[in-house]
Amino acid sequence: MSTTVTLQSKVGVFAGAALLRLVLFAAFPSLPDLLTGRVEISTPVTSFKRLQEGLFLYNHNVSPYDGGVFHQAPLLLPLFSLLPDVKNWPIFTALLYILVDLLSAYALLVIADSGEAGQSKHFTSPRRAKRSSGLLVAAAFLFNPYTIASCIGRSTSAFTNCAILFAIAKALSGSPFNSMVAISFASYLSMYPILLLPPLVLLAYDRQSDKRRIDSAVQFSLRAILIAATCISLLLAMSFALTGNSWDFLARTYGIQLTLSDLTPTVGLWWYFFIEIFDSFRAFFLAVFWLHLVIYVGGLSIRLRTQPLAVLTILLGIFAVFKPYPSISDTSLFLAMLALYRHLYPIMRYTYVASATMLYATFLGPAFYHLWIYAGSGNANFFYAITLVWSLGQSLFVSDLTFAVLRDEWEVERPDMVGKEIRQI
């Protein structure tokens, strides 16, 4: 009885989300293009508009990177050239994006139902009883306005997010091979997900199925890394063949992310900083910013060895704040993962303040961008100030979640301190 009910409600949630998106696509034909143009949704490395440009050049047998605006992975091009022309038949592109969102939600459902958030191999949270159902997590992702906006805006980060979620879901369901393939796809598309490899390998190691068990951690990681490397090499080789036997695409896709040569505004912290900085310091600060992004991986994976899923969640939050070209799509991914930690909400301290901060930034960001670009009565500082507030809101969530995870662990060690005020020194 209960299984049919949940199945029904699952179908209901997924169909509802798909219908909502379809209605938005169909009822407001100018909405997708409007959202595609928003800097909050489309970054230089995920913009659908830029993809169109690349696609046009590709279909006319010109190297897609010659236009200078397309910075996305080459394999997206054959995928999108299979679809009918988006100008005449926008519905097919819309269906593809809706499908990707639904797949992501399905992966989240699997992740939530695995119960890993509350109980991992080496750690069992005393609060795990109050976990959120998979359906609720999927619904929170599907009906999150940020997710909907990036779906309607057709940002290609939807594919990356889907691949990341599938990598996590597959690792949890004991198929390390599929997980590594998925994370290779994510890394191939956006590069930064490669940083998720260490915690993901740990997660896959912890959740191996008993049939094909590899006891040695070193051996397991080596095999996992080998699979990922092979898969990425294959993808790169295909891209090489696709772009006319040239390695140019590496510099034009990953190189852009590494050197931040496109300074289009985003919701992140990099663009303004690198506009302002003197050229002689540029290389140094690029290294510093990237080092800062990378440095969390090792520390968190070691400190939270017992909860690799928490490491992944926190890392996704950190990336959504500190990566070179973040968008609200990355935030939606982090918020979706955050929904898994419902049992920790009571010990999180700033949820309301952080949500209010993000709400403020969501409203003020477009207003200040309007003042800067259209009304001409503001300037870039207005928008940058709001992206700082936006990042502040997200980092409050990240640090609050980290605090809650650590406190949860600590209360297992020190049962006498449960519910007591603690002071950080």
Task: Please report, as ranges, the residues that interact with another protein according to CB under 8 A.
Answer: 346, 352-353, 356, 359-360, 363-364, 367-368, 370-371, 374-377, 419, 421, 423
- The residue among 107, 171, 95, 100 whose CA lies nearest residue 137 is 107
CA 111 remoteness from chain centre: 15
Closer of 18 and 367 to another protein (Cβ): 367
CB-side neighbour CA atoms (13 Å) of 389: 19
Closest approach, Cβ 378 to another protein, in A, equals 8
Provide the 10 A C-beta neighbour count for residue 350: 15
* 172 dihedral zone (left: phi>0; alpha: psi -120 to 50; beta): alpha
Tokens of 376: 């001409």
Closer of 62 and 422 to another protein (Cβ): 422
C-alpha to C-alpha distance for 308 and 142, rounded to whole angstroms: 24
Closest approach, Cβ 375 to another protein, in A, equals 6
Closest approach, Cβ 196 to another protein, in A, equals 31
Closest approach, Cβ 26 to another protein, in A, equals 18
Closer of 289 and 368 to another protein (Cβ): 368
Closest approach, Cβ 360 to another protein, in A, equals 5
Closest approach, Cβ 17 to another protein, in A, equals 16
Closer of 132 and 184 to another protein (Cβ): 132
Closer of 160 and 331 to another protein (Cβ): 331
Amino acid identity for residue 151 in this structure: C
Counted residue by residue, the chain has a size of 425
Cβ burial of 22 (10 Å; 0-12, 13-18, 19+) is middle
Closer of 50 and 342 to another protein (Cβ): 342
Cβ burial of 332 (10 Å; 0-12, 13-18, 19+) is buried
Contact status, residue 125 vs residue 118, Cβ threshold 8 Å:
yes
